[in-house]
Structure 1
Amino acid sequence: MSKNPAPRKIRDTDARDLKFRSLAADIRRGILAGTWAVGAKLPTEAQLAAETGLSLTTVRRAFDDLVQEGLVVRRQGAGSFVSVRQPVRRRSRLTVGVLLPDTQLYYPRVLQGIEETLSAHDVSLQLATYNYLPEREDTSIDFLIESGVDGLILVPTLNEIADPRQRVTDLMALDVPVVLLERSLTDLGPGDRSEHVCSDHQGGAYDAVLHLFGLGHPRVSLLTRSETPTEPAIVAGYERAAADLGFEPHLARIPRSHWEDGGPDEALTKLRLAGATAALVFGDREATLLEAAARRAGIRIPEDLALVSYDDEMADLAEVPLTAVAPAKHRMGKMAAEILLRRLAEGDDCPIHQVRLRPRLVIRKSCGATRQSAHNEQE
């Protein structure tokens, strides 16, 4: 069977975006580090294209980004130069800096919540992203601080780094107040003094398993994509539910890249070998691909296999609309902004806020429950 060309096109676009963002980050880092002094002429677009092997279009997009940020100015007929940066000065209107991994899928609703809260308090927002590239985080944070923000809402990388505790300590020691969003030191317990607003992903996974178990599935499997910040908490919630309900857990981790090429069929085989009649699948895309694999194998959803997906970004668009665990993304953004504004107003008199929002379960067709039966079950 030939593959759908659409995903290939998306990946090509992402690759081009990554190249120009990476080049912009390199130039930005050089400017902030003093490699090019204020007023210095930068290499021409043609020179950079020749040096890097990138296309002129990619180089031009990188310069466009830097011009928009105010770091670079173009002079007709003369070239591009490092802008004269105005000294940071306090304004009567506050500005909050927001650092996100990206603005796709999970984070638009979070960002909307932040924007609505800041706008209601006449506070400006300065946004930066790092495209899940940890090496770009510090440059992006430096950019936000140099632009004169009064406080920061950060979604940093804490998984798969050498010392997450030191990283959080360094972030909380910045010159402006910091609220972490969807990131915390979960294993540190009361030793974690960071201010944060997070989803209770353990609770969300626990509730999904409880729901499927209550529908008559004595053993629920978990299928995940590996190497994500959310996965450890989902696994912990699933394993706790299995222990509390008294069944042997069955966990299948499949790398994110494999879900496009054989992963769904592999996952379905693992479910059938385990004798599972229900599964929690992280996330929506993976659950949708699993549905397609089940249809090809003649397995009916939900009659033969009940599914709950995790994220609820596109769960309602699946062939069989997916029951989904839905983190409170919009509310999370609002609360992070509210906590930071309270910190800015009260200073050290404000207690440290450490908030966890438990996701809700949105009932659709893929689990075999009706909305009414799910409501009665929760009561």
Structure 2
Amino acid sequence: MREPVDLRRQRILAVVQSRGATRVSDLAAELAVSVVTVRRDVEELAREGRLRRGHGVARPVLTENERAAAPPEPAADGGPVALVVPERHAYLYEALHGARTVFEEAGIRIALHIAPAVSGAEQPLVERALAEGARGLLIAPRWRSRATEEADYTWLSRLTVPAVVMERRPRRGSALHAVDTVCTDHWYGVHLAVEHLTGLGHRRVVLAARDDSPTARAVRSAFREIAADHPGIDKWAVALSAPGAVPDPAAAASDAAAVELPALLSELGATAAVLHGDVDALMLVQALRDSGLRVPEDCSAVAYDDVVAGLGSTPLTAVSPPKTEVGRAAAELLLRRLADPAAAASPVRRLELLPSLQVRGSTQPPPEAVAPTLASQ
């Protein structure tokens, strides 16, 4: 028997009033009706002034005291927010989903623009978005090299709408230094990986990392600094994780060949490796197995990114940046600029969020650390 319309709408009101902003899709699942039905109910309830309708969400009506205390909301007719991210970048797509949730809860439409893998692709996309009425910008430029990064500083710093740079940290003192940014503290991520491995007893560690993104460069720099000063590390080395993982493979053909990880581990006597990013990590673990090195019995491995690291035949221990939360924080920062005209003159924010370590089955004490125990049994 179908539930009466009035009763269903009362249930919608009760859920929204008790939980706050609620997605229409969640309401539909909970009430066991179609999204179209709930959307129609929400529209009618909003027309009656019993709740507020956003883009894909229903929100409770504010009391007078709540209305007075709440920050001003962006105008409903102010145009979309443009989101610009690189193509085929699963890491940043997770951050994008976090940002989308915030914008939907605020009732703001987003316009997604995917930048192809060519230098300078972001600028024309942003210019087109602004010409089409975008009122703000959330952007994660590809920046394969420092040269392409610095080429974007000038035009990004001169935008006429509020902008937040996501998962990128512009060079200090650059034209983009005074633009809001939200990113992961990758130094801390490498620190977590190294502390985990040295805590297990590994004293010789290799980093196999990309070199074609700001994150890759931050990871490589942090590893060199941490490994060089760490009392628990005797030897360390940095290798390229894949032949094409350089800023310009065509120009750097002579330097593009990745060091064979099994050979490097053998040469160094290393028993552990930090591998950036996930896909490269899974492929390198396969290469180790093909060469006769077992993970983790012969070599422990820690991946960096944690997008698909847990899906390997041996789930990889991984540094997990707070990807969704980076997106949420960036969107909230942009909303603040959009909602309050006075916020345009407030101090620029450069936020860093700490990653976590997800321990799985790819790390254990090194062979020499477990051998005495095995011998004594």
TM-score (normalizing by structure 2): 0.68
In the TM superposition, what is the alpha-carbon distance from 1:224 to its structure 2 partner? 1.3
What is the alpha-carbon distance in structure 2 between the residues aligned to residue 156 and residue 342 of structure 1? 22
Query: Is the Cα–Cα contact under 8 Å of residues 226 and 255 in structure 1 kept in the other structure?
Result: no
| Equivalent in 241, 247, 251 of residue 238 of structure 2 | 251
| Equivalent in 264, 273, 276 of residue 270 of structure 1 | 264
Q: Do structure 1's residue 207 and structure 2's residue 201 form an aligned pair?
A: no
What is the alpha-carbon distance in structure 1 between the residues aligned to residue 198 and residue 214 of structure 2? 26
What is the alpha-carbon distance in structure 2 between the residues aligned to residue 301 and residue 210 of structure 1? 19
Q: Do structure 1's residue 300 and structure 2's residue 294 form an aligned pair?
A: yes
1:1-379 aligned at under 5 Å gives the runs: 92-160=77-145, 162=147, 164-165=149-150, 167-188=152-173, 192-246=177-231, 247=233, 248-257=235-244, 266-346=260-340, 347-368=343-364
Letter in 2 for 1:105: A
TM-score (normalizing by structure 1): 0.68
1:63-86 Cα offsets, whole Å, 9 max, x none, are xxxxxxxxxxxxxxxxxxxxxxxx
In the TM superposition, what is the alpha-carbon distance from 1:146 to its structure 2 partner? 1.1
Query: Is the Cα–Cα contact under 8 Å of residues 204 and 359 in structure 1 kept in the other structure?
Result: yes
Letter in 2 for 1:243: A
What is the alpha-carbon distance in structure 1 between the residues aligned to residue 217 and residue 286 of structure 2? 26
**Runs (5+) with no aligned partner, structure 2:** 1-74, 247-256, 366-377
In the TM superposition, what is the alpha-carbon distance from 1:106 to its structure 2 partner? 1.3
In the TM superposition, what is the alpha-carbon distance from 1:194 to its structure 2 partner? 1.9
CA-based RMSD of the aligned residues comes to 2.6
Letter in 1 for 2:128: F
What is the alpha-carbon distance in structure 1 between the residues aligned to residue 315 and residue 346 of structure 2? 44
Distance 1:293 1:156, change over 3 A: closer
Q: What's the % identity of the aligned pairs?
A: 33
In the TM superposition, what is the alpha-carbon distance from 1:147 to its structure 2 partner? 1.3
Larger Rg: 2
What is the alpha-carbon distance in structure 1 between the residues aligned to residue 183 and residue 221 of structure 2? 16
Distance 1:208 1:348, change over 3 A: same
Distance 1:265 1:135, change over 3 A: closer
**Larger RCO, structure (CA 8 Å, separation 6 or more):** 2
My pick for the range that moved more, 124-133 or 247-256, is 247-256
1:133-173 Cα offsets, whole Å, 9 max, x none, are 22322211111101101100011244525474563242121
Alignment length (residue pairs):
278
1:232-256 Cα offsets, whole Å, 9 max, x none, are 1101211222133133431112444
In the TM superposition, what is the alpha-carbon distance from 1:273 to its structure 2 partner? 0.9
Letter in 1 for 2:323: K
1:102-138 Cα offsets, whole Å, 9 max, x none, are 2542122111111100000101101101122223222
Letter in 2 for 1:302: P
Letter in 1 for 2:181: H
In the TM superposition, what is the alpha-carbon distance from 1:197 to its structure 2 partner? 0.5
What is the alpha-carbon distance in structure 1 between the residues aligned to residue 258 and residue 300 of structure 2? 15
Letter in 2 for 1:179: V
Letter in 2 for 1:238: F
Secondary structure in 1 aligned to 2:362? helix
